[in-house]
């Protein structure tokens, strides 16, 4: 009974934190600030990522010194710096994509993450996947393609499968695959703990983004925007805190119940994030897109339950 109660508390924490994380992300990136002729949109995506990484780093620092003491870390710095770069590029592309696509499209598109991970696993020659795994991934691909396919407009214009927003999601997925490959090496060679990984990856991400924000001059645009619209400060801080807290509940779930229940929780919460975006922001979905959403999340659920067996090639 105590374990069941703890599980539902952890699951509730993941659901609530990432539900509000998704709502705040769309509100920040797709909202309109100001009135009349002074209306403008928030476009400082690098600065948004920088704040998020700083909060995540502080969070990891706190939990490593309090509730999740994980000892010494022997992981090579090169692994942290390279995985932080790919992780960062994935996050930036994902956030930038929201300027061209709505949040449901982003969530369903990012559900393709198993695809680049699988491709890289096969290419490096170290993993073998079962036929069930391939079947579930194909199901996800079909669902995503069906969801993001753009119907042609009236007047004979041809349909377009991908726009710039979808291209950014594709780049984000590619970076996710590279990040996963590097992290697998980290775990295999150094048994890197989750807390150390989060701490160091966010530290390197802060260094990278700070350089990019300063060199691009975005820092000045960000400061000006915040001065003109101070209400966004609370939204950005809340957005970053919900991200950090959500990761905290994920770490607790993995620690106490294992990765499989955690995967089921995070997969299920994505559907409710899409539903919340539709309800709160009026992002209407076509019947075809609802069917595609069901296909994607059903494929993800099957993959979570039955597609995790991976063995090394001999």
Sequence spans of domains, the chain = 42-307
Q: Is the dihedral of CA 102, 106, 108, 109 positive or negative?
A: positive
Of residues 287, 308, 266, 290, the one with CA closest to residue 111: 266
Mind listing the pLDDT tens digit for each residue in 226-254? 998 888 999 999 999 998 888 778 767 76
pLDDT of residue 161: 46
Selection from 293, 234, 309 nearest residue 51 by Cα: 234
Give the SS3 label for residue 311.
Answer: strand
Kindly list the distances between the CA atom of residue 177 and the CA atoms of 3, 117, 183, in Å, as whole numbers in the listed order. 34, 5, 10
pTM value?
0.70
Q: Is 160 helix (H, G, I), strand (E, B) or coil?
A: strand
Tokens of 63: 């939990």
Q: Which residues pair with 40 in a beta bridge?
A: 33
Strand partners, 310: 129
CA 167 to chain centre: 16
Q: Which two tokens stand for residue 125?
A: 């020659």
Both tokens of residue 313? 């090639």
Q: Count the neighbouring beta carbons within 10 Å of the beta carbon of residue 145.
A: 15
Structure tokens at 183: 């992290």
Is residue 33 helix, strand or coil?
strand
Q: What is the dihedral of CA 10, 175, 94, 147, to 10 degrees?
A: -90
The whole-number pLDDT of residue 206 equals 94
77-97 and 45-65 are packed helices; what angle lies between their axes, rounded to 10 degrees?
130
Whole-number Å distance between alpha carbons of 288 and 212: 40
What's the confidence (pLDDT) of residue 151? 55
**pLDDT score at 222:** 93
β-pairing, 310-311 vs 128-129, is antiparallel
Pairwise CA distance, residues 146 & 134, whole Å: 18
Strand residues in the chain grouped as ranges (E):
32-33, 40-41, 128-129, 310-311
- For 117, the enclosing helix (H) or strand (E) is helix 114-123
Calculate the CA dihedral of residues 86, 56, 144, 134 and round it to 10 degrees: 70
Please list the rounded mean pLDDT of every run of 10 residues in the chain (314 residues).
Answer: 76 84 81 80 88 91 82 87 88 78 71 68 60 76 67 43 73 81 77 82 92 92 91 90 84 65 65 66 73 78 64 47
């Amino acid at each position: 009974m105590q374990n069941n109660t703890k599980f539902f508390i952890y699951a509730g924490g993941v659901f609530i934190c990432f539900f509000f994380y998704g709502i705040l992300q769309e509100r920040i990136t797709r909202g309109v600030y100001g009135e009349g002729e002074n209306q403008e949109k928030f476009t400082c995506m690098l600065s948004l990522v920088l704040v998020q990484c700083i909060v995540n780093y502080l969070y990891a620092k706190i939990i490593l010194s309090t509730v999740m003491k994980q000892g010494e870390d022997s992981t090579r710095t090169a692994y942290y710096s390279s995985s932080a770069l790919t992780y960062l590029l994935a996050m930036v592309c994902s956030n930038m994509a929201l300027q061209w696509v709505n949040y449901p499209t982003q969530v369903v598109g990012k559900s393709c993450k198993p695809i680049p991970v699988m491709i890289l696993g096969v290419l490096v020659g170290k993993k073998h996947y079962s036929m069930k795994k391939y079947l579930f991934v194909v199901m996800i691909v079909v669902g995503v393609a069906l969801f993001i396919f753009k119907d042609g407009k009236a007047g004979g214009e041809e349909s377009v499968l991908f726009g710039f927003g979808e291209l950014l999601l594709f780049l984000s997925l590619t970076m996710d695959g590279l990040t996963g490959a590097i992290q697998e090496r980290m775990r295999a060679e150094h048994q890197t703990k989750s807390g150390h990984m989060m701490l160091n990856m966010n530290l390197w991400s802060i260094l990278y983004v700070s350089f990019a924000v300063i060199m691009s001059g975005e820092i000045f645009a960000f400061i000006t925007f915040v001065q003109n619209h101070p209400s966004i400060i609370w939204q950005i801080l809340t957005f970053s805190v919900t991200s950090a807290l959500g990761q905290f509940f994920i770490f607790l779930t993995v620690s106490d119940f294992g990765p499989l229940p955690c995967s089921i929780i995070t997969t299920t919460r994505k559907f409710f994030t899409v539903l919340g975006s539709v309800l709160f922001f009026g992002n209407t979905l076509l019947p075809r897109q609802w069917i595609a959403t069901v296909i994607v999340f059903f494929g993800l659920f099957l993959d979570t339950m039955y597609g995790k067996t991976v063995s090394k090639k001999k």
